[in-house]
Amino acid sequence: MDSDVWSEFYRKRVGDPSEQVRQLRALIVGRQVLVIGAIRQEVLTGWRYPHQFEQVREQMPAFPNEVLTEREYELAAEFSNTCRRHGIQGSHTDFLLCACSAAWDVPILTRDQDYLRYAEHVPMRLSAP
């Protein structure tokens, strides 16, 4: 699950939630949420007030970190290199999510359109909207 969905989940106060946030809520109810440390860091970054940070940090243990191994990190580097050869750049965290998706056979829930470009070149899965 990408941090953009978490950000909307925690921060959006007006209007209807996106389809991805509705999916996140269903995953939470079904206890099917997977989180990696890099996403946890992104979710906890950027809060203006300490009480907001603390509130989110207190909720995050409900979603324990999945353990990553050398396999996921090496696959992330391979995916980054593959995409770069095709003129596509992305962040280390993006490619780490792609690697986890491929290694664990789980889809990524995201609103970030960059993942559509990655999926053209690496064997990761996206959650259907």
Kindly report each contact of residues 71-80 with a partner whose C-beta sits within 8 Å and lies 24 or more positions away, as own/partner. 71/103, 72/96, 72/99, 72/100, 72/103, 73/99, 75/99, 75/102, 75/103, 79/118, 79/121, 79/122, 79/124
Taking the alpha carbons of 27, 30, 32, 35 in that order, is the dihedral positive or negative?
positive
Looking at residue 61, its pLDDT comes to 86
The predicted model gives 31-54 an average pLDDT of 93
Taking the alpha carbons of 30, 34, 39, 45 in that order, is the dihedral positive or negative?
positive
Looking at residue 43, its pLDDT comes to 93
Looking at residue 98, its pLDDT comes to 98
The predicted model gives 69-85 an average pLDDT of 98
Residue 129 confidence (pLDDT) above 80: no
